Amino acid sequence: MLDVEDSVELRALQARAYGRSGALSDAEAERLRELEAARVSEDGLAATTAPVTAAPASQPGESAPQTGESASQPGESAPHREPAHRRPTDAVVATDPGPHDVSARTVLRRRWPVVLGVSVVFVVVGVLLGWLLFADRGPRPLQLTTTQQDWQAALIASGDFDSGSIRALQEEEGVVIWFATKEGGANVCLVLGDDRATAPACTTREQASIQGVNATLTTVVDESQSYDVEVQMLLTPKGEPAIIARSYITSPQTTATFASQEEVEAAEALAEATGLDRRSIAVVGYDAGVPIWTGIDMATQRFCLVFDGSMPDPPMVCDDSLMLSGAESTLALDVEDAGGVATRYEYRFGYGQQYLTVTKGEAGDDAAGD
């Protein structure tokens, strides 16, 4: 193996031997052949060498040979010199890189399997991340209880829908909402069901894409009220179902609806505490979960706005019911909390659009109240 000094010596001898006018002595030429042979043995590569010309030793009384001419020792033939016009004028001298001087091409050639492996890993990870982030996997199926699975099994056994098309989408207050198809997918169906009843609604796929499908399942709570689950289903551009569901409690004696049984009980308590007609009481809005009510006073027939209603004497403001004959009327109720911050509740009603406005910290002095 060539050490640093041998490598330096090799490069120096090569520069002199292969230059335009380079020449070596016999000893130097022999040394060059030894170094090149050692390098070939070390690298295992075939080396291309040019003929080496030894310069004759100067004898006393003799002049040095002219540049470009070769001299030979007695008994030896003159070594062959390639004509000058065939030698490259800008020759590239091959040099030994040394033990710590490896070319970039050699490094890449040795490490390309590692580089390729790392590149493949990055590509695979990128594909997986893209799939996780952007893949359209559709809506997740609803996990049914054992009882609800029996309901679905009954739907499948009925044979009213295409085989394998029944899919549970959502649960609303104990009612399961299914999507199904009929006539080989030409018709789409919205099916509501619980342990007592089933309410299917079907239409053509084209009609469902335009207007959607609506279905309602009514459950009787008692003689004075029932619980309704109302669902609207639309189809996405890809034909997948998208549903909007709401549930409320109704009474045959009134058109008012309540979100839960708790609200029904609160309305009954409000009627007893304020004298409002139970049939006229309704929730018109919420403030941080607190209901805002309206109703008609049974004694005076005045229209009233009530805050909360869970206390014995709730904040309330009423107006003369004769004002209902006007195009629009407004009730304003100011309520101050424990910290002294006032909130104004304004309810606009009449023959136009009815709505509630809640304004924090801006109560007025002109609000009428009882």
Q: Is residue 179, in this structure, part of any structural domain at all?
A: yes
Q: Is residue 49, in this structure, part of any structural domain at all?
A: no
Q: What is the mean pLDDT of the chain?
A: 75
Name the least confident of 23-27, 161-165, 194-198, 285-289: 23-27
Q: Is residue 282, in this structure, part of any structural domain at all?
A: yes
Q: Is residue 38, in this structure, part of any structural domain at all?
A: yes
Pick the more confident residue, 294 or 38.
294
> Would the pLDDT of 335 be above 80?
yes
> Would the pLDDT of 91 be above 60?
no
What letter would DSSP give residue 24?
B
Q: Over range 237-243, report the average pLDDT.
A: 91
Secondary structure E strands in the chain: 167-172, 175-182, 187-193, 198-204, 213-222, 225-235, 241-251, 254-258, 282-287, 290-296, 303-307, 316-319, 328-336, 342-350, 355-360
What letter would DSSP give residue 48?
P
212 and 281 part of one domain: no
300 and 231 part of one domain: no
Q: Is residue 236, in this structure, part of any structural domain at all?
A: yes
Pick the more confident residue, 29 or 324.
29
49: three-class secondary structure by DSSP: coil
Pick the more confident residue, 311 or 106.
311
356 and 294 part of one domain: yes
What stretch of H or E contains 18? helix 4-18
Predicted pLDDT at 272: 87
> Would the pLDDT of 220 be above 80?
no
- Please state the φ and ψ torsions of residue 125, each to the nearest 5 degrees: -60, -40
Q: Over range 32-43, report the average pLDDT.
A: 76
Of 225, 250, 275, the residue at which a domain comes to its end is: 250
Name the least confident of 100-114, 253-267, 343-357: 100-114
Instruction: Tell me the per-residue pLDDT of 261-272, one tens digit each, with 9 for 90 and over.
Output: 788 888 888 888
Pick the more confident residue, 353 or 360.
360
Q: Is residue 370, in this structure, part of any structural domain at all?
A: no
Predicted pLDDT at 337: 85
Tell me the HSE value of 60 on the side-chain side, using a 13 A CA sphere.
Answer: 0
Please give the full DSSP string across 274-299, using - where no structure is assigned: H-B-GGG-EEEEEETTEEEEEEEBTT
Say how far apart CA 350 and CA 348 lie, in whole Å.
7
> Would the pLDDT of 88 be above 70?
no
Of 250, 285, 319, the residue at which a domain comes to its end is: 250
User: What global pTM score does this model have?
Assistant: 0.43
259: three-class secondary structure by DSSP: coil
Burial class (CB in 10 A: 0-12, 13-18, 19+), 165: middle
* Tally of domains within the chain: 3
| Nearest one of 290, 297, 276, 301 to 335, comparing CA atoms | 290
318 and 232 part of one domain: no
Pick the more confident residue, 105 or 347.
347
Amino acid at residue number 148? Q
171 and 197 part of one domain: yes
Q: Over range 94-100, report the average pLDDT.
A: 47
238 and 168 part of one domain: yes
Residue 132, token pair as written in the block? 């996780």
Predicted pLDDT at 333: 92
Q: Over range 204-224, report the average pLDDT.
A: 86
241 and 158 part of one domain: yes
228 and 162 part of one domain: yes
What letter would DSSP give residue 324?
G
Predicted pLDDT at 24: 75
CB 356: neighbour CB atoms within 10 A?
18
Say how far apart CA 295 and CA 21 lie, in whole Å.
118
The domain in which residue 32 lies consists of 4-42
Instruction: Tell me the per-residue pLDDT of 171-189, one tens digit each, with 9 for 90 and over.
Output: 988 899 999 999 999 999 9
Pick the more confident residue, 318 or 118.
318
> Would the pLDDT of 292 be above 90?
yes
Say how far apart CA 208 and CA 241 lie, in whole Å.
10
Predicted pLDDT at 103: 54
Instruction: Tell me the per-residue pLDDT of 136-156, one tens digit each, with 9 for 90 and over.
Output: 444 566 889 999 999 999 999
Pick the more confident residue, 275 or 61.
275
Predicted pLDDT at 265: 82
Predicted pLDDT at 315: 92
30: three-class secondary structure by DSSP: helix
Rounded to 5°, the CA angle 151-154-155 comes to: 90
Say how far apart CA 294 and CA 255 lie, in whole Å.
13
Q: Is residue 60, in this structure, part of any structural domain at all?
A: no
281 and 346 part of one domain: yes
pLDDT band at 64 (very low <50, low <70, confident <90, very high): very low
Burial class (CB in 10 A: 0-12, 13-18, 19+), 164: exposed
Q: Is residue 242, in this structure, part of any structural domain at all?
A: yes
Say how far apart CA 254 and CA 281 lie, in whole Å.
9
243 and 265 part of one domain: no
154 and 246 part of one domain: yes
Predicted pLDDT at 185: 93
289 and 269 part of one domain: yes
